Structure 1
Amino acid sequence: MNFREIVRNAGIRMLHSGLTVETWGNISVRDPETGLVYLTPSAMPYDLLTNDDIVVMNPDGSVKEGKRKPTVEAAMHLGIYRARPDVNAVIHTHPVESSVFGVLHRPIPPIIDEAAQVLGGEVKVTKYALPGTQELADNVVSTLGSGAACLIANHGAVSVGKDIDLAFRVCEVLEMTAQIYRMALTIGEPSVISQENVAYMKDFMEHHYGQNQK
């Protein structure tokens, strides 16, 4: 599997999905067999990246391959992988709707079925920390916990998955949920799906939904 190609294509997809602007945001995937992490480089246009621009890092943070500087949020990506053996893809986006709640420091509750199924409950907001710092990385790891996504205060969002496609699904459902939540708040107080029903739908999505499931 060409992990460099996966990361490069994911950067283009993120940019053209409206999940970030310019060179902001970052992406990584982990090879579950070797533990190597493939990351986007720092401050380079996603449309112009080549496979050689992708940086390969060891789990301890040392660079194994690549001549570029890795994303300034490399510590965040590596911290998530250390804490979450179930995660093999991390996408840090700067999405407009989700960021509205990030600047309000207001969590996004599960108000639609898709959020219950994919996000698995409330999407929490980290404490504020400066970009590229170990403090921000630690805050994200702590706030994300066992969840699928979290908001970074005054900054953006982080979505994770067992592969890049599932991580993108989390990104897209999070942004859709944020938009619906913002719009619903202009009319009244949205009803939140109960934790019991969230747990049921998340289990259904993971183990029964789709052609290859029971």
Structure 2
Amino acid sequence: MLLEKLRIEVIEAGKQLKEYGLITLTGGNVSGRDEETGLVAITPSGMEYHALAPQDIVIIDLYGNIQDGKRKPSSDMITHLQIYRAIKRINGIIHTHSTYASCFAILNENIPVVSTTMANEVGGEVPVASYGPVGSEELGEHVIHNIKNQQAVLLQSHGVLTFGADVHHALKAAVMLEDAAKVYYLARTIGKPQSLSEEEIKRANDLYQNVYGQRSE
């Protein structure tokens, strides 16, 4: 089976999205790019994650040609592939309609960095990409225009995209963004949250990426 390990990683990320409450039913999608071959493993359209087997994950090239698999790929495939072609550092993409972050997508408001937790994995203010129909090249172009150093973009009137060096990091960004969006939402109900300075955002991100956790000798 082609890219079996990556297929399993994609499935496991989808299951964890469900466990963290970031998706409902068959909403959202997950993909990962294999750095060696350049091929992409993406979830099939309209199938629940708990029922997926590795053979259900579709393997495509960067232009959407199916290389392995019999399922129809996600309806957001075009956007995923546009991002992979444009930004080489990204090898994992996750799309959700997570509740709190999506509130700001609906309001067409950026989510500022008001906590070190958001700075850690998300890495910067999350902007809103202008509206584009689902699955359109227009949507992908708007997303790419808004990707800087942060690991997430809101989709106007729709939901959230998060990215990472691999599927695992895209998942962490999705989880931590929703948590930060919830805190920001609640803080706004009782006061005016203060954004962190760019210096503090960078400091928190560097600490998390290079010091936090266990390191191999």
Partner of 1:110, secondary structure, is coil
What is the aligned-residue identity percentage?
38
Inter-partner Cα distance in structure 2 for 1:100 and 1:54: 30
Return 5+ residue gaps in structure 2 as ranges: none
- Residue 198, structure 1, aligned to residue 201, structure 2: yes
- Residue 77, structure 1, aligned to residue 80, structure 2: yes
Match of 1:148 in 2: 151
- How far residue 213 of structure 1 moved from its aligned partner, in angstroms, is 7.2
1:181-196 residue pairs with structure 2 within 5 A? 181-196=184-199
Inter-partner Cα distance in structure 2 for 1:160 and 1:39: 14
Count of residues paired in the alignment: 214
Inter-partner Cα distance in structure 2 for 1:109 and 1:135: 25
> Which deviations, in whole Å up to 9, do the C-alpha atoms of 1:102-157 show, x marking residues without a partner?
10000000001111122111100111111111111211122223320011111111
- Residue 14, structure 1, aligned to residue 9, structure 2: no
> Which deviations, in whole Å up to 9, do the C-alpha atoms of 1:185-211 show, x marking residues without a partner?
111110110011111221222222222
Inter-partner Cα distance in structure 2 for 1:161 and 1:122: 16
Inter-partner Cα distance in structure 2 for 1:21 and 1:53: 19
Return 5+ residue gaps in structure 1 as ranges: none
8 A contact 1:115–1:173 mirrored in 2: yes
Match of 2:98 in 1: 95
8 A contact 1:111–1:190 mirrored in 2: yes
CA RMSD between the two structures: 1.5
- Supply the AA of the counterpart residue of 2:197: S
From 67, 71, 78, the counterpart of 1:64: 67
Moved more, 202-211 or 77-86: 202-211
Inter-partner Cα distance in structure 2 for 1:125 and 1:141: 11
8 A contact 1:26–1:91 mirrored in 2: yes
Match of 1:126 in 2: 129
Partner of 2:41, secondary structure, is strand
- Residue 212, structure 1, aligned to residue 215, structure 2: yes
